[in-house]
Structure 1
Amino acid sequence: MGNSKFLKGVMLGAVAGGLLSLLDKSTRQEVGVTLRSSGTNLSKYSKNPKLLAETSKDVYEKLRTTADQVSRDIEFISEKVNEIKGMTPQVKEMIEETKETFEDSTEAYKETFSDHPSNELNSGEADSQPVASSFKGY
C-alpha cells in the first residue's frame, strides 16, 4: 500500500516538474519541436514498416560494432596493465640501483670537495671563507 503511494507521489512530482519547466519559453519551443519531430518519425515508420526494420538493423549493427571495438580496447588495456604489473619488479630494481648510484656519487662529490685543501696563499679573512663565497654575483 505504501508502495503505491510512493509511485503516485513520484508521478505527481514528475508531472508538476514538467509543467513548471514549461513556464520557460525556450523550453516550450524545444518541447514543441521535439514532439513534432517525433510525430513525423512515428507517421513515417507506421506507413513504411520496412524502413523501421532497416533503420533498426543499421542501429543494431552500429551498436554491435561499437561493442566489439570497446571489447577489443578493454582487452588491449588489460594486456598492457598485466605487462606493466610484470615489469614492476624490474623497474623497481632499476630505480633502486639508480638511487644507490646517485647516493654513492653524492658521497664521492662531498668527499672530493670537503677534502679540498684550504687556500694557503691568502691569509687573513679569505682563509675562513668558503670557495663559493668568493663567486658572489656569478
Structure 2
Amino acid sequence: MGKRKLCLGLLIGTIAGGILSLLDRDARNYAKSKMTDVKSGSSYYMKRPSEAVKGAKDAFDRFNTTFTKGADNAINALEQVEGTLEQFTNKSDGEELNNNL
C-alpha cells in the first residue's frame, strides 16, 4: 500500500511540475519543438518499420560489443591484481622462512 501511494504521489508531482513549467513561454516553445521532433521521428519509423528494427538491432549489437570489451578488461585487471597479490604473498612467505632459519 505504501509503495502504491509513493508511486502515485511521484506521478502526480511530475504531472503538476510539468504543467506548471509550461506557464513559461520558453518552456512551452521548447516542449513544442521537442514534440514536433518526436512526431516526425515516429511517423518516419511507422512508415519504415524495418529500419526501426535494424536500428534497434545495431544499437543492441554496439551495446553488446561494448559490454563484452568492458567485461574482458575487468577480468584482465582482476587477473593482474591476483598475480600481483600472489607475488607479494610468495615474497612475504619467503622472507618469513628466512627469518625463522
TM-score, normalisation: structure 2: 0.72
The higher radius of gyration belongs to: 1
Structure 1 position 84, deviation (Å): 2.0
Deviations 1:18-47 (A, max 9, x none): 223334454434333322211111100100
Match in the other structure for 2:46:
46
Aligned-partner residue type, residue 55 of structure 2? T
Partner Cα separation in structure 1 for residue 4 and residue 46 of structure 2: 35
Bigger proportion of residues as helix:
2
**Offset, 1:65:** 0.7
**Residue 56 (1) aligns with residue 59 (2):** no
What RMSD, in angstroms, separates the aligned Cα atoms of the two structures?
Answer: 2.6
Gaps of 5+ in 2: 96-101
In the alignment of these two chains, the number of paired residues is 93
Amino acid at match of 2:43: S
Distance in 2 (alpha carbons) for counterparts of 1:72 and 1:24: 49
Partner secondary structure for residue 34 of structure 1 = helix
% identical aligned pairs: 26
Q: Which amino acid aligns with 1:10?
A: L
Residue 10 in 1 paired to residue 38 in 2? no
Residue segments in structure 1 that go unaligned for 5+ positions in a row? 95-138
Question: What is the SS of the residue equivalent to 1:52?
Answer: helix
Within a 5 Å distance, the mapping from 1:83-94 to structure 2 comes to 83-89=83-89, 90=91
d(CA) in 2 for partners of 1:27 and 1:83?
A: 56
* TM-score, normalised by the number of residues in structure 1: 0.55
Q: In 2, Cα distance between the equivalents of 1:74 and 1:64?
A: 15
